[in-house]
Amino acid sequence: MKKTKFCNLLGIQYPILQGGMLWLANAELAAAVSNAGALGVISPYAGMKRHGDGLENLVEQIKNIRDLTDKPFGVNIPLDLDQSGLLINVLLQQDVEIAITAAGSPALYTELLKKAEMKILHVISSVSQGRFAESCGVDGVISEGIEAAAHNGLDELPLFSLIPQVVEALSIPVIAAGGLVDGRGVVAAMALGAEGVQLGTRFVAVDENPAHPNYKKAILEAEDTDTVITCRSLLPTRNLKTDFSRRLLELEQSGASAEDLRDFLGYRRTRKSQLEGDLDQGETFAGSSAGLIKEIVPAARVIQDLVKGYEKVMANLMSS
């Protein structure tokens, strides 16, 4: 697998990024990914106890990953978190080198982080968002299609029509995200101009991920039509089809207000489903590619399979 601008920017071997899953992307998972040559990412709440403190937890996760790897790693900061500013301050205090921001304006903290010589990636879902992020000084964008798990863009643009348009509009590296699982997807994304790929759902079903076995099992059993978009009146969100997502859709279709939907979603209920295994009591995020995931393997094996799969597809294309 060729090195790209994304690899050179971040000092990694392969142009592969592990998604920063809020409750799941802990130091053990991220270190396994980084040690395999890709970019592991930790999130503030990953590994946190039920009533824990996000700031203390992030400091602990950063300490833990530095004990587990000397390779580059990133930290994911959703800007819609109440503590986002304080979490950004933790990154500065801990001399973190790579930050991934999402769910908010890159104008908020990019300049501050750049002054600390941090590399910044920002998640976008449209060309206009990409242009704005570039104007704010980010080093690259993660261009996410509607195929992705969890929260998506309001315009619900498919990845493979979004990527070439973003690539044509921007001069900074573009990382493709949404519905990518194997080497075929990597080749396709790079053929459209992406400099790298981000995978989330594939890294749920790995040995190092702390996700509950019920959650992992549900991904393995998913077929092509077993994810669904919910919360279109708030923010489109892709989940596995469960009793919870069915009830949520029924509530939306009944004309429920945004406040009613937020009450139903509850506070930290994703933790209950993803970490505690009660899939009918919270959102169970999964990308549309869940149907391609058939086994739980070590994170390093995912990286190896992506590289081998990429090389196999490229060899077949060259020989045909």
Length reported for the chain: 320
The full set of domains in the chain, from first to last, is 11-210+295-319 (3.20.20.70), 213-288 (no CATH)
For CA atoms 139, 181, 39, 50, the dihedral sign is positive
Contacts of 231 (CB under 8 A, 6+ apart): 237, 248, 252, 261, 265
- Residue 4 C-alpha from the chain's centroid: 20
Residue 311's identity, in one-letter code, is E
Round to whole Å and give the CA distance between 244 and 65. Answer: 34
Return the H-helix or E-strand segment holding 239.
Answer: strand 237-240
Q: What is the DSSP letter of 212?
A: -
End-to-end CA distance of the chain: 19
Quick one: tokens of 60?
């602990």
Burial of residue 106 (number of CB atoms within 10 Å: 0-12, 13-18, 19+): buried
CA atoms within 13 Å, Cβ hemisphere of 28:
12
Query: Token match 């800007």: residue?
Result: 79
Q: What is the pLDDT of residue 124?
A: 97
Nearest CA among 297, 269, 261 for reference residue 285: 269
pLDDT tens for the chain, 320 residues long, are 888 999 999 999 999 999 999 999 999 999 999 999 999 999 999 988 888 888 999 999 999 999 999 999 999 999 988 899 999 999 999 999 999 999 999 999 999 999 999 999 999 999 999 999 999 999 999 999 999 998 888 889 999 999 999 999 999 999 999 999 999 999 999 999 999 999 999 999 999 999 999 999 999 999 999 999 998 888 899 999 999 999 999 998 888 888 888 888 876 778 888 998 999 888 899 999 999 999 999 999 999 999 999 999 999 988 87
313 and 275 Cβ atoms separated by less than 8 Å: no
Which stretches of 44-91 are assigned E, i.e. beta strand? 73-78
Residue 52's identity, in one-letter code, is G
